[in-house]
Amino acid sequence: MEPLSQKSLERIVSQRALQIWSSFPCQICVVGFLCGVCLTSLFLAALTSIGSFELGGISFSAISMGVSPGTSSSEVINMVTRTNFNSEPVETEKLRDLQTQNDRNDDEKVSLLYSAWSAMLNEDSEYLKHLRLTGYSVPKAPHLENCKLTAQVNQRLDKRSENESFPPWAGWKGLLDMHPAATSNEQLRYSRLKAVSEGAYPPWVTGSDDENYPLTRKVQRDIWFHQHPLNCSDPGVRFLVADWDRLPGFGSGAQLAGMFGLLAISMTEKRVLVSNYYNRADHDGCLSRSSWSCYFFPETSQECRDRAFELLGSEEAWKSGIITAKENYTSEKIWTARTPKIWGDPWSYLQPTTDVNGSLLAHHHRMDLRWWRAQAVRYFMRFPTDYTCGLLNGARHVIFGKKAAKMVRKSLNNEWPKGCSAVESGGHCYRPRPFQDQKSLHCGGGKRLPPTYPRERELQIRDQGFGKGEGEDKTKMKNENEEEQGSPDLSPTPASSLPIFFFFFFFGGLAIPPPPLGSLPSSERQHRPCNRWEAVTADRYQWRYWRQLLVVLNSPMWACYPPSSGIEEYVWSSHKPWVPRLLLSMHVRMGDKSCEMKVVEFEEYVHLAQRLRKRFPQLNSVWLSTEMQEVIDKSKSYSDWNFYHTNVTRQEGNMSMANYEASLGREISTNNALVNFLLAAEADFFIGALGSTWCFLIDGMRNTGGKVMAGYLSVNKDRFW
């Protein structure tokens, strides 16, 4: 009986306890007790993090005052007295320390952003994970270009539209031509075809006729149509197939000049020029090995190339003259090829915008050659390939990346990186990985977000030396990069913040229950934000919701871009990558060039730059390209100028250009030359030597790129003028 009575007693006690627990006053007491515990923990955590408090206008701080358990009361009174009557210096010192800490945090965040861009540029997802970042949470880099997207747009512009006779040049600019309104508007399509047939101009020419050499837009249009016949298999289409010159003494400029002579011959003889072996592209970095198309779009269509190479093996085609080669023409005819007379003589009214020895050069004996080579270089370099775009991205990032990161960081204030009130452990914030696997992360309608920037597998930024600016030392740059790439702080969340999470976990959950799995409207289910789980079973949905809530509290940075607006996606995307403005390009040619032109010392180039700055006082950035180490060393003595240059080995003494390029290797020498060329063409002003073929071609690229009125300051004249 005794066990039975004991069980009855336990049952009565349990029922009584259940009744008490079910009563509303009891629940209020329990909730109040837990709230009190959490609020007390929150108060203590805040007090610990602040480390000081004020009472009656007197500031107490265990750190600043140095109070220890063994300190006597008289010492404490003396401390309080000193604090009370000498508070201004202490406050000033605190403000100074706070400013120093803020500056340090900003520098560390700039380094974090720069490192994240570097990882994205090389598509190094492992290093990005090492930084506890995702590509979608990193602000876009203004100095980098989306090479894959640009190449796709340019490929569309460099061929005829499907079942049409003309390329889509008269459409809306850039990505706007892919806007739904453009693709579905039949009236726009008809107007576009009509405009192209009546003479719409190609999109690779920037500016109006007044901002370029005469007839530039028309000439570029005519060259393209000449090089892209409708039917390459038509018996009436003739070809000129030629390898690029590769004699040891021929530099890049001489090779281009020779090919431009062949283009003039092919235009005069009504042949399609097809370039063949290009020795400077014969390296492992080029997917289109030994071809000009490694760096720029080919000069003709693939159909015409295939047809021309097919005819090379036809004896009948050689006899009938359907196909010719470079060997059919003498070197003199190639180098002194007559400018095609298709457009009259537009060079006779070139605007005098070149300054030599303080005077504008209004006329010289080779004006036709200068005009034609400008047209030819613009056509051959009309669209850089994905590979060349990657090289430019690498150069801009190493040279201008830190400056761009500071600019972006300043514009964002404290909005990035989110979740970091202070940057710990070498500039890296600890962010737990989101619960969802990044490989399966989908945003807005199940579309997987692509990487922001493509991987340029050939690009090794630091190894190939793209970038040294303002006299920086390469060793110093490497050390800084190693410091930036230090291990992130992987310490767990501070214990003082845990009560906050539990407070929101238990009591926030009472007020904010998870939405039912099927209760969301269809529109919201399609476009709901990424911090809500995708399809999960109902029995696991509740737990995942709360687990996600904890991640939200601890790490609010999510791996999804906010939806981009139409103007961002279709309009602003057409803008060119950022570089410091105003930017002066300076090409200093010395070395073995003394046998062909008057060589001028670096001081004369700087003198011309000072002339420019008198008119444009905001000018202080110079893109310096040269083969001479002496010039780089001298540039460091001009502290009032910011000189930027690629970081490659440069020659000392009077080494020949052929030997110097051989010492660099084919890949580095060619990549470095073309990066310098294209950045010089995009600069606001240019100083060079017209006696140099390379400067001659840079000037031509600028004069067909909307920069005629920027002028050209030259330290000498061409030897043939």
Token pair of 638 as six digits? 């001009």
CA 230 to chain centre: 37
Number of helices (H), then strands (E), in the chain: 26, 13
d(CA 67, CA 74): 12
- For residue 307, tell me if it sits in a domain: yes
Assigned domain for 476 exists: no
C-alpha angle 57-60-63 in degrees, rounded to nearest 5: 150
- Say which residues have a Cβ less than 8 Å from residue 231's Cβ, sequence separation at least 6: 237
pTM for the structure as a whole = 0.70
In a domain, 154, yes or no: no
At which of 328, 347, 366 does a domain end?
347
Across 322-335, b (16+ Cβ under 10 Å) vs e yields bbbbbeebeeeebe
- Structural domain includes residue 279: yes
Q: Which residue numbers in the chain have pLDDT < 50?
A: 1-4, 49-87, 419-465, 468-563
| Residue-level pLDDT at 190 | 63
Domain end marker among 293, 324, 347: 347
Whose CA is closest to 436, among 521, 552, 526? 552
Strand 642-645 to strand 468-469: parallel, antiparallel, or no bridges (unpaired)? Answer: antiparallel
Q: Which domain-ending residue is among 347, 370, 394?
A: 347
pLDDT at 691: 84
**Domain encompassing residue 703:** 579-714
pLDDT at 197: 61
Residues 6+ apart with CB under 8 A from 310: none
The answer to whether residue 234 sits within a structural domain is yes
Residues 640-668: tens digit of each pLDDT: 999 999 999 998 877 888 888 889 999 99
Listed in sequence order, the residues at least 6 apart from 158 whose beta carbon sits closer than 8 Å to its beta carbon are: 167, 297, 382, 383
Is 465 contained in some domain?
A: no
Which has the closest alpha carbon to 392: 443, 458, 337?
458
Cα distances (Å, whole numbers) of residue 58 to 68, 89, 214, 261, 380? 18, 14, 78, 85, 75
CATH of the domain at 593: 3.40.50.11350
Number of domains in the chain: 2
Separation CA 457–CA 386 (nearest Å): 11
Do the Cβ atoms of 620 and 640 come closer than 8 Å?
yes
Spatial contact of 632 and 626, defined as CB atoms under 8 Å apart: yes
Sheet holding 238-242, edge to edge: 271-275, 238-242, 323-325
For 234-263, write each residue's pLDDT tens digit: 999 999 999 999 887 788 999 999 999 999
In a domain, 467, yes or no: no
Q: Is residue 281 part of a domain?
A: yes
pLDDT confidence of residue 284 = 93
- DSSP letter (8 states) at residue 637: T
